[in-house]
Structure 1
Amino acid sequence: VYDVVGPVCESADFLGKDRELALAAGDLLAVRSAGAYGFVMGSNYNTRPRAAEVMVDGDQQYLVRQRESVPALFELESCLPD
C-alpha cells in the first residue's frame, strides 16, 4: 500500500492515499492528467524546477519541453547592492 505524493513540502500534496500498486524498486509510475503538475499549471514554488514534459504515442516518446535547472530559476534575478 502506497501514498502517492507530489514534489513539494506540503501536507496536502497528495495524488493518492493508501493505494495498492503492483510496484517494485526502480519502477516508474506515470501520473496522467495531474493538473498542477503539468507545465501550464506548474510553478517554481519552493525553488522547484519544473519537470520535463514527454509525449508518449504508442511505443514512441518525444521530449516536448526540457527540465528546468536550478540556475535557470535565478537567471533573471539580481541582488540588491549593499
Structure 2
Amino acid sequence: MPKADIVGPVCESSDTFCKNIALPPLHNGALLGFSNAGAYGYSMASTYNARMRPAEVGIYADGARLIKPRESFEASVADELALLDSSK
C-alpha cells in the first residue's frame, strides 16, 4: 500500500494529522473520517484564511447523519453585509 501524509488544507506547518500512513487507493474527492480534527472540527473552527466552517457529521452504529451543514459564504459575510446596509 502506498504511504502518505494527511495534512490540513490551510498550509500551516502544524496541520499534520498523520505522517507516513498506509492508505488504500483513494479517488479524487474521497473522504477520510477523523475522530478528532481539532480546529478543523466545527466546535473549534474559525474563519481564518476565509475558510468556511465545516459540516458536522455524527457517526452512529446505524450510519452517519448530518448534524450541521457546512457554512455557506453568504452566511459567513451576512453580519458584515448587514452592517454595510445599515450605514447607508
The answer for the alignment partner of 2:40 in structure 1 is: 37
Structure holding more helix per residue: 2
Matched residues, percent identical?
A: 43
- Residue number among 59, 65, 71 corresponding to 2:62 in the alignment: 59
Alignment deviations for residues 20-71 of structure 1 (CA, whole Å, 9 cap, x no partner): 1123325421111222222221111100001111111123222111110112
Distance 1:10 1:60 in 2: 33
TM-score (norm 2): 0.76
**Segment drifting more, 66-75 vs 17-26:** 17-26
Q: Which runs of 4+ in 1 moved over 6 A?
A: none
How many residue pairs were aligned? 80
In the superposition, the TM-score normalised over structure 1's length comes to 0.80
Structure 1 unmatched runs, 5+: none
Q: Identify the residue that residue 20 of structure 2 maps to in structure 1.
A: 18
In structure 2, distance between residues paired with 1:37 and 1:75: 22
